Amino acid sequence: MSPVLLQDEPDSDEDVEFEDVPILHQTSTQNSERTRNGDISIDLPPVPTQQWNPPLYLPPQRTTPIPSGSEEEIQLRGRFSTGIEKITYRKMKSDMGMDAPDTPVSLRRYEGFKDLVVDVDSLVDMLWVSATPAIQTETLITLAGLIQTSLKSFPFDPQPTLTILHKLDSIFAALCTGTHPLTGAALPGAQIGQSLATETQKVRIRSLAEMTRYEVFSALGASNQEVTGDGDDDYDDDVEDDDEPWMLEATQVYEKSLMLLAEQDPGVAGDDGDVGCGL
């Protein structure tokens, strides 16, 4: 018996069906070409732009708050005061645009916003580790205010800006709910749902958050205008696409805090009792 040649066998139904299935992983350009040629094409949804998510790192906290009036508390307050003065001093020198030749590196003017963020982030971590609301909230408000007022002093730098704002937002929300933002556990010395911020502080946080969002959008808009040019007919769509993730992230600046404080009544700002955060 002569051997059967496999190439002479007719294709199976499965083979034909497989070969006739159109490849759906086509670009929109390929689909449009098929339409112009008269072929039937399948409209595929555009692939969404991958959104950048700011990282959140928080060091381990103390298990209990620092005792009020203790030597440890006094020393810690002194370290924060010195750190804030240093940031303010370096920021002032950045605004002036000058340094004395013999200025130590640690006291030189900030070359960019990310350098200021490094100093702020170091103090934020110290505050978080302290697990002491009597120190944390007021100092965080001061640091968040420094970030807000410094945004317009430097070219917009998306990643360090959005990262530190995400961190501040997460900690403010944690203090307003008594809940760790990463683990969901109760904060030291608190119960879940218990606010560790006073009503006055919450009003200030909300106002600061709203002003910061405005500054971020203003800075991002100015940055985009510098890149594309004002009234430039040769506007590059690719540039617009590259900026889109940052615009999406800007809409999330202080999102947690503002959502928690949305129902905050300014009329109760004089009440400094520790109550819930509008949950």
* pLDDT per position as a tens digit, 177-202: 999 999 999 999 888 888 999 999 99
Q: How far apart are CA 260 and CA 277, in angstroms?
A: 6
Q: Judge whether residue 245 has pLDDT over 70.
A: no
User: 0.75 cut: is pTM over it?
Assistant: no
In which residue are the tokens 């510098």 written? Answer: 226
Q: Judge whether residue 247 has pLDDT over 60.
A: yes
| CB 197, CB 277: distance < 8 Å | yes
Q: Judge whether residue 231 has pLDDT over 50.
A: no
| CB 165, CB 253: distance < 8 Å | yes
**What is the rounded (10 degree) CA torsion for 134, 135, 139, 141?**
-20
Q: Which residue has the higher pLDDT, 241 or 143?
A: 143
Q: Judge whether residue 51 has pLDDT over 90.
A: no
Residues of the chain above pLDDT 90, percent: 54
Q: Which residue has the higher pLDDT, 178 or 249?
A: 178
Q: Which residue has the higher pLDDT, 181 or 97?
A: 181
Residue 109's CB is within 10 A of a number of other CB atoms, namely 18
What pLDDT was estimated at residue 274?
45
Q: Which residue has the higher pLDDT, 112 or 8?
A: 112
Q: Judge whether residue 49 has pLDDT over 70.
A: no
